[in-house]
């Protein structure tokens, strides 16, 4: 019964506050000592993704996926890469389409349920025969992609992939989109929509006629944006169709490797459905940890080397025997 009843994450003072722990890392956290080598991975559909590698000449690799409108440069990504490098793992951060600082080529972008690019990367890595062991870490949107990918493949997952961790993950997209409409999340929602709409403006000329630009620019929440943009650009009938087909929650029971989901109880982005306690109690492989604190992709902690709790928790999980 891998439901972790009591988390050892016990921050103090302001680090226990939902909003402080969510905002503080993005504004003030610095992760030194990670030097990336960029590789452009050409995709079968004519598009590309940029990969940021940090190699230690290891036979073990961790693949790290960022959240909505993030990138490999986010401190939460660099933190994982650094701690795993020091544990003698290679690391590679996948920048989703259009998130590396260079617009992608196609009209489509990335979304919460798109596991194709991750799958293509995994296949390329396995074909290189450089690694005996692969682990995956996903944050927020990247966590949903990770869990859905593992569940889609189930027992057919390549045996080189041994373990995975998802952090601050909205496993039920529909109810989480409703949660993000609440007044408490307005600053975050506004920031995300501003970034997403800016990408639409960059591609206005090629998107004309493919989406309703007026609806896209006037969207006040994720449901309206996804209905106007995400769904039509990625082959979904509507936002509801997108949420239903892209949520990782139905795929969790099909996961066949040791996997840990860490969702803070005070994460203001997440709905009740994003804490699948019953699934964890019934599973021998799906682990669920619900710290009281941490916010969304926060988990601020004061470590000597600048590590956050999630960095060390990921390393500990990957070192466990199952």
- What HEC string does 152-170 produce? HHHHHCCCCEEEEEEECCC
Rounded to two decimals, the pTM is: 0.97
- Residue by residue, pLDDT tens for the chain (322 residues) are 587 878 999 998 999 999 999 999 999 999 999 999 999 999 999 999 999 999 999 999 999 999 999 999 999 999 999 999 999 999 999 999 999 999 999 999 999 999 999 999 999 999 999 999 999 999 999 999 999 999 999 999 999 999 999 999 999 999 999 999 999 999 999 999 999 999 999 999 999 999 999 999 999 999 999 999 999 999 999 999 999 999 999 999 999 999 999 999 999 999 999 999 999 999 999 999 999 999 999 999 987 688 999 999 999 999 988 8
Identify whether the C-beta of residue 318 lies closer than 8 Å to the C-beta of residue 83: no
- DSSP letter assigned to residue 133: E
- Rounded-to-integer distance, Cα 138 and Cα 30, Å: 20
Domains of the chain by start residue, with CATH: 3-172+251-319 (3.40.50.1820), 174-246 (no CATH)
Q: Which residues contact 25 (CB under 8 A, 6 or more apart)?
A: 75, 76, 297, 298, 300, 308
Identify whether the C-beta of residue 295 lies closer than 8 Å to the C-beta of residue 184: no
- Rounded-to-integer distance, Cα 287 and Cα 7, Å: 12
Helix extents (H) in the chain: 18-28, 75-86, 116-128, 141-153, 173-179, 186-202, 204-207, 213-218, 222-225, 231-233, 239-246, 277-282, 309-319
Which residues are known catalytic residues? Answer: 140, 267, 296
């Amino acid at each position: 019964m891998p439901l972790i009843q009591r988390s050892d994450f016990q921050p103090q003072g302001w680090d226990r506050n939902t909003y402080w722990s969510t905002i503080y890392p993005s504004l003030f956290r610095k992760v030194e000592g990670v030097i990336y080598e960029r590789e452009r991975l050409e995709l079968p559909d004519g598009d590309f993704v940029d990969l940021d590698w940090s190699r230690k000449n290891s036979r073990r690799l961790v693949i790290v996926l960022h959240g909505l409108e993030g990138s490999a440069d986010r401190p939460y990504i660099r933190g994982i890469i650094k701690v795993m490098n020091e544990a003698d793992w290679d690391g590679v951060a996948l920048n989703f389409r259009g998130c590396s600082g260079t617009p992608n080529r196609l009209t489509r972008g990335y979304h919460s349920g798109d596991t194709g690019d991750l799958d293509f990367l995994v296949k390329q890595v396995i074909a290189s025969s450089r690694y005996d062991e692969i682990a995956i870490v996903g944050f927020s949107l990247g966590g949903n992609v990770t869990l859905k990918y593992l569940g889609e493949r189930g027992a057919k997952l390549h045996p080189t992939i041994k373990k995975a961790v998802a952090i601050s993950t909205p496993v039920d997209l529909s109810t989480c989109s409703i949660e993000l409409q609440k007044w408490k999340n307005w600053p975050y929602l506004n920031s995300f929509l501003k970034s997403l709409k800016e990408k639409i403006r960059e591609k206005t000329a090629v998107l004309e006629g493919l989406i309703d630009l007026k609806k896209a620019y006037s969207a006040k929440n994720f449901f309206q944006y996804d209905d106007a943009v995400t769904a039509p650009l990625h082959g979904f009938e509507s936002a509801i169709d997108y949420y239903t087909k892209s949520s990782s929650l139905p795929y969790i029971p099909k996961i066949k490797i040791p996997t840990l989901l860490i969702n803070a109880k005070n994460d203001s982005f997440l709905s009740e459905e994003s804490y699948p306690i019953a699934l964890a109690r019934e599973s021998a492989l799906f682990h669920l940890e619900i710290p009281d604190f941490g916010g969304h992709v926060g988990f601020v902690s004061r470590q000597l080397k600048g590590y956050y709790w999630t960095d060390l928790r990921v390393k500990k999980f990957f070192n466990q025997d199952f």
